[in-house]
């Protein structure tokens, strides 16, 4: 059944037990012999997922390990790896018995708290049997025991708003920072959690598992929903692993703060001398739909800040990083400070600060710990050209999400099983097929030799199952016939 599920996924058919069983019926005698499949009943096809759930329930295997174990052998292990992380909605096939109520129900998603907000038992009692308040303090609205309320963005003709199902979190291989060569955007790890679960906690778990298996992860790019979480759920664990977080900033995070030393300030997460000109302290944010010329012009303004920023000195030690002010005494600087006579030699060609106090911060050296504003500090200055090139490497995970929805048609009804375990297990085969196609296409389009670990799969047109009146259908007992839609 595992082999048939792999074939079914590669053929980009829905991960239904009926399709997996039809895959077996479509094989020729020689193909069955090569696969070691002599006979198979529909009940045997469905039982293999049930047996896996028994292993999970007995704590013999973790759900995340189960899902990733299905496709993990398709994941290369490059010397260094950059990841782009995001989650997408996966709607349960189960019928909704009680729809989300804006006035009485808890918010469909909460990324700020350690545990989910309390559900209102009164709201449950006033609407009869459904929804059901479960042990996780959340409402179950369908026969799917693990599907929960979540919030999704508009896509594929689905409006933005609440849905019932799961969040599929993907960690996708991205081009290394400052890397010149394109890399295949394979899915390195995945996690399926009930919708509305904490995005950052779902992602950090799979990153830690990748790190534990020997993957040398240098940085992780994610949108502002992740670094807006509490430090202990995202940026803190990443920095402890030696992984650089790359992220966008929310409007609340984009403001001026006092620096660690007199004469210094924090603006948009970067340490500056307070000689930073006033017109560069509050710059507009990047918006959706900006023209390329407007974006370039705005990036140029952010780039003008770099001359006033502190720069890191050497490697971090014991969770600490030393930074040096923008005006140096041993080398030319991009700006000139009246309190530093060496820099003033270039005053005719470079900007001169308005410092009039010997205690200005232009030439200071400052040591910052990793826990100093960890959710807004990052390696590249926010808004600059370097930051834009760094952050927008997260397009790799957007491309993977798009391919799963369009090419593999991974929407509602793609799987028709209930529960997190069975859905995660079947989706693992889909991620296997995606990785196989992603990696082989990467080499094929560049006219490079495809690694032996990824043989080119050319599926013969499936042989249609014979009619019930034929000898083949006559051998199948009525009890083995799949139910409609199964």
Q: What band does 115 get if pLDDT is binned at 50, 70 and 90?
A: very low
CB atoms within 10 A of CB 99: 14
Asked if residue 71 lies in contact with residue 189, where contact means CB atoms within 8 angstroms, the answer is no
3 state DSSP class of 89: strand
Q: How far apart are CA 324 and CA 362, in angstroms?
A: 9
pLDDT of residue 253: 94
Concatenate the DSSP letters of all residues of 171-220 into one string: EEEEPPTT--S-----EEEEEEEETTS-HHHHHHHHHHHHHHTT--EEEE
- For the residues 240-261, what does the mean pLDDT come to? 95
- Give the CA angle between residues 19, 20, 23 to the nearest 5°: 85
- 104 phi-psi bin (left φ>0, alpha ψ -120 to 50, beta other): alpha
| 430 in Cβ contact with 404 (< 8 Å) | yes
270-329 pLDDT, tens per residue? 999 999 999 999 999 999 889 999 999 999 999 999 999 999 987 777 889 999 999 987
Q: Which of 178, 79, 164, 246 is nearest to 412 (CA)?
A: 164
Half-sphere exposure in the Cβ direction for 134 (13 Å, CA): 17
Domain spanning 63-249+375-449, CATH architecture? 2-Layer Sandwich (3.30)
Whole-number Cα distances in Å, 365 to 261, 263, 304, 326: 10, 12, 21, 10
Kindly compute the dihedral angle of the four CA atoms of residues 396, 401, 405, 406, in this order, to the nearest 10 degrees.
Answer: -10
- Torsion (CA) 141, 146, 151, 152 in degrees, nearest 10: -120
Report the DSSP pairing between strands 81-91 and 161-174. Answer: antiparallel
Confidence tier at 233 by pLDDT (50, 70, 90)? very high
Give the integer Cα–Cα distance in Å for 105 and 84: 33
Task: Give DSSP secondary structure letters for 305-371.
Answer: GGGGB-EEEEEEETTEEEEE-SS-SSS--SSB-TT-TTGGGGTTTS-B----STT-STT-EEEEETT
Q: What is the pLDDT of residue 34?
A: 87
Q: pLDDT grade, residue 57 (50/70/90)? A: confident
Domain residue limits, the chain? 1-61+456-486, 63-249+375-449, 256-372
> Do 71 and 432 form a contact (C-beta atoms < 8 A)?
yes
Cα separation, 175 vs 373, in Å, equals: 27
Strand partners, 365: 324
164 DSSP assignment: E
Do residues 163 and 152 lie in contact, with contact meaning Cβ atoms separated by under 8 Å? yes
51: tokens are 């047996």
- Cβ neighbours of residue 103 closer than 8 Å, sequence gap 6 or more: none
Beta bridge partners of 273: 264
Q: Which strand (E) or helix (H) includes residue 245?
A: strand 244-246
Q: What confidence score (pLDDT) does residue 345 get? A: 87
| pLDDT, tens digit, 9 for 90 and up, residues 314-348 | 777 788 999 999 998 777 889 999 998 888 888 88
Per residue in 68-101, pLDDT (tens digit) is 999 998 899 899 999 999 999 999 999 999 887 7
């Amino acid at each position: 059944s595992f082999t048939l599920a792999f074939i079914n996924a590669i053929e980009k058919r829905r991960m239904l037990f009926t399709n997996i069983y039809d895959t077996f019926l479509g094989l020729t005698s020689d193909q069955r012999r090569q696969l070691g499949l002599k006979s198979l009943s529909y009940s045997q096809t469905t039982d293999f997922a049930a047996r896996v759930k028994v292993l999970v329930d007995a704590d013999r295997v973790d759900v995340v390990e189960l899902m990733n174990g299905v496709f993990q052998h398709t994941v290369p292990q490059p010397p260094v790896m950059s990841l782009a992380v995001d989650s997408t909605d996966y709607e349960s096939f189960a019928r909704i018995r009680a729809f989300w109520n804006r006035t009485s129900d808890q918010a469909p998603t909460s990324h700020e708290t350690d545990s989910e907000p309390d559900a209102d038992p009164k709201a449950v009692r006033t609407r009869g049997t459904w929804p059901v308040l479960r042990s996780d303090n959340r409402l179950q609205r369908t026969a799917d025991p693990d599907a929960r309320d979540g919030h999704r963005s508009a896509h594929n003709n689905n409006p933005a708003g609440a849905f019932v199902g799961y969040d599929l979190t993907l960690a996708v291989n991205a081009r290394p920072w400052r890397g010149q060569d394109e890399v295949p955007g394979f899915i390195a790890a995945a996690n399926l959690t009930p919708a509305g679960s904490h995005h950052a906690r779902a992602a950090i778990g799979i990153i830690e598992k990748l790190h534990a298996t020997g993957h040398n992860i240098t940085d992780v790019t994610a949108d502002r929903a992740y670094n807006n979480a509490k430090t202990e759920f995202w940026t803190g664990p990443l920095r402890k692993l030696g992984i650089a977080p790359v992220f966008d900033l929310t409007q609340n995070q984009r403001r001026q703060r006092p620096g660690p030393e007199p004469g210094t300030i924090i603006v948009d997460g970067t340490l500056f001398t307070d000689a930073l000109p006033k017109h560069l302290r509050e710059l507009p944010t990047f918006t959706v739909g900006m023209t390329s010329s407007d974006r370039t012009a705005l990036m140029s303004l952010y780039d003008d800040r770099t001359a006033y920023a502190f720069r890191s000195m050497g490697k971090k030690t014991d969770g600490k990083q030393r930074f040096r002010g923008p005006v140096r005494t041993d080398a030319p600087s991009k700006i000139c400070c009246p309190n530093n006579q060496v820099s003033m030699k270039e005053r005719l060609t470079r900007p001169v600060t308005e410092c009039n106090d010997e205690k200005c911060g232009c030439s200071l050296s400052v040591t910052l710990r990793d826990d100093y504003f960890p959710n807004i500090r990052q390696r590249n200055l926010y808004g600059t050209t370097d930051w834009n090139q760094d952050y927008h490497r997260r397009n790799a995970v957007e491309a993977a999400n798009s391919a799963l929805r369009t090419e593999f048609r991974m929407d509602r009804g793609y799987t028709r099983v209930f529960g997190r375990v069975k859905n995660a297990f079947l989706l693992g085969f889909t991620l296997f097929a995606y990785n196989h196609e992603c990696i082989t296409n990467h080499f094929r389009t560049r006219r490079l030799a495809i690694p032996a670990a990824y043989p080119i799969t050319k599926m013969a047109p499936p042989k249609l199952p014979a009619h019930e009146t034929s000898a083949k259908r006559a051998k199948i007992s009525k009890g083995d016939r799949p139910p409609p839609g199964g």
